[in-house]
Structure 1
Amino acid sequence: MSIQKATDRANLDQRLPQMPWFVQQFIDYKRPDLSPSTLLEYIRDYESFFGWLRGEGLSVAASNADITLLELETLHMDSIVGYRLHLTTRAENANSRVTVSRKLSALRSLFHYLSQIAEDENFYPLLKRNIMAKVEIKRIHKPKDTAAKLKGKILEDEELLEFVGYIYEGYGTDVEANKQAYYSWQLNRERDACIASLILNSGLRVSEVVNLSVDDVDVNNKLLYVFRKGHNDETFKTPVYFREQSKDDLSLYLSLRQSRYKTPKREKALFIALPNGSKEGKRMTKRAIQEMIIKYAKRFGKPYLTVHKLRHSFATDYYLQNDIYRTKEQLGHASTETTEIYAHLTDKTMSDAIERRLDNEPPQ
């Protein structure tokens, strides 16, 4: 099991008893199909909704666990409209349209289960009236819109190599006057460049990078074995290829991994951090990798660049040389609908169609 999945499962098991019994039943129903991370998001969304119900006096429950089916069954449409307004305008740090859509979708899933699938001892639905069935949730994530937002915020063409090169050399020149920043860069530049290079040449998610162990790397065959998002078999690791450019970066980092970071033999993590004052290194965290990429990106002149946009950068570049199905497999997408983002980013679909048309036209 991946490190992140184990953490999410432990968090889920800790928070689930604070939910009503019917939510616990719903989560158990969903466990075989959804990851602990997704189920944990459901719990957070229900915590938000139930807390709002109690705060508005729409439930007399003393805690979320005490909320009843009858209280959900007798909600009016005005209440759901009020909750949507709360999420978008009244809550602190008002939620984006995408977040609001996700929270409402989580409620729809619960209400659908309670009214259409779950049943009592007399074979009647647990929920007799489903108010969420009346709620229209518009699709927010359209590939074309996502692509438009990414324009100019990813690395393109030579920038993929230039960014890795900047981590190796340019950043040190820029921070030379800052002794602390310069020392940190000297200590970590090979590791940091290797991480950036690996994402830019394989398209791994940051969670997949964090979970990599030394045994998951086959440098000679340019292969990584990763726990992929959406795979419920916790023993299976998917083979993912990386491009030639990362071979030297990986080999260099691996030669330094144990001595540079005082890595104990029992530590199998590929990417290691050595916190100040620590006597031995340990697995890098997701947050540390995210902050590391942002640090270099700002100095590189790409302040919008994030670790996930490195994945988008690889995907856009990879799609230019491959079709949508190979790109989907490389990225580990569940469907080609998500991969369509890169068709819009490159305009490859349109340009290919134009080329085919020109090739088929008779000479004038």
Structure 2
Amino acid sequence: MSIQPYLKGFNDYLRLERSLAANSIEAYLGDVQKLCQYYESIGRDLLLKEIQLDDLRAFITWLNDLGAQATTQARVISGIKAFFGYLMQEEILDEDPAVLLEAPKLSRKLPDTLNIHEINKMIDCIDASKPEGMRSKVIVEILYGCGLRVSELTSLRISNIFPQTEFIKVLGKGDKERLVPIGSTALKLLEIYINECRVHLNIKKGNEDFVFLNRSGSSLSRISVFKLLKSLAVAANIRKNISPHTLRHSFATHLIEGGADLRAVQEMLGHASITTTEIYTHLDRDYLKTVITQFHPRS
């Protein structure tokens, strides 16, 4: 039983039953194709009913020998498990060889964050008297004030802004929609940008509802946001590797350090699992030292 005839069914399963986005489906299919490449490299036919756990472990060892990082190996294992899970669900296989396949242990690196002083320094470097400057100021305020991913920011639509209730609707990973509160400062700046700056652009057809536009009247690209934040970090003399995700990290970290409920932060970030949100429960070392000094009887 060869693997190729079942890839289309796996594609349909991921798209229809699991409702995954196109790039996620492509990644899963690519993981299965890597397994095919492994079998080609060792000169064996990939026969589904003959695959054993040891074969899959040998495949992961092969990936490791090729230099695949632990995160890449973990993602490939996730794709392989999903594929064999699909085959079991369709009763194509009697046993799942991937059920005991373990992913490598991943270290949980604490993300870089900015403190409020650094964020204010970046905002102070913006000349908001110019239309592009006002747009830049709004971008920073929304990334930090709402914790959006860069793709959620660039795809934000005017029709999804609800000023009366101070919420915006964003389209997250897997095309999942969620409502996110927007603070009064960010909302006021957003309304100024839309009503006083954006209206003067010659907007290209099909881009009328996008909030953030470039000079040509098309929706703003992700790379433009990255470049903006890099330039603001340089202007503010901040020597950290800044990206849109840095502001998202800062949003979550500051909320949790301030005592926000973890479930509420999970909802605002659009995390499918609370485990992903838990990474933000770190506190900086200086704060921990202060707590010990102030409250421990032996300090």
CA–CA distance in structure 2, aligned partners of residues 52 and 189 of structure 1: 51
SS in 2 for 1:226: strand
CA–CA distance in structure 1, aligned partners of residues 199 and 33 of structure 2: 43
TM-score by length of 2: 0.81
Distance 1:313 1:25, change over 3 A: same
Kept after mapping to 2: 8 A contact 1:262/1:281: yes
Partner of 1:159: 118
CA–CA distance in structure 2, aligned partners of residues 106 and 156 of structure 1: 37
Partner of 1:338: 276
Say yes or no: does 1:49 pair with 2:21: no
CA–CA distance in structure 2, aligned partners of residues 154 and 289 of structure 1: 17
Distance 1:127 1:283, change over 3 A: same
Partner of 1:117: 89
Question: Offset of 1:305 from its aligned partner?
Answer: 1.5
Question: Offset of 1:205 from its aligned partner?
Answer: 1.4
SS in 2 for 1:283: coil
Q: Structure 1: which 5+ residue stretches go unaligned? A: 1-18, 60-69, 120-125, 170-184, 275-279
SS in 2 for 1:131: coil
Question: Offset of 1:293 from its aligned partner?
Answer: 2.4
Alignment of 1:1-364 (within 5 A): 20-30=4-14, 31-36=16-21, 37-59=23-45, 71-75=47-51, 79-90=55-66, 94-114=67-87, 116-119=88-91, 126-128=92-94, 130-140=96-106, 145-147=108-110, 150=111, 153-168=112-127, 188-219=132-163, 221-230=165-174, 237-254=177-194, 255-259=196-200, 261-264=201-204, 266=206, 267-274=208-215, 280-300=216-236, 301-321=238-258, 322-345=260-283
CA–CA distance in structure 1, aligned partners of residues 149 and 75 of structure 2: 21
Question: Offset of 1:77 from its aligned partner?
Answer: 5.6
Q: How many residues end up aligned between the 2 structures? A: 287
The amino acid that maps onto 2:31 is: D
Partner of 1:175: none
CA–CA distance in structure 1, aligned partners of residues 205 and 284 of structure 2: 45
CA–CA distance in structure 2, aligned partners of residues 325 and 346 of structure 1: 21
Q: Deviation digits for residues 74-95 of structure 1, max 9, x if unmatched? A: 34666534432443342xxx43
Q: Structure 2: which 5+ residue stretches go unaligned? A: none
The amino acid that maps onto 1:146 is: K
Distance 1:76 1:247, change over 3 A: closer
Distance 1:51 1:299, change over 3 A: farther
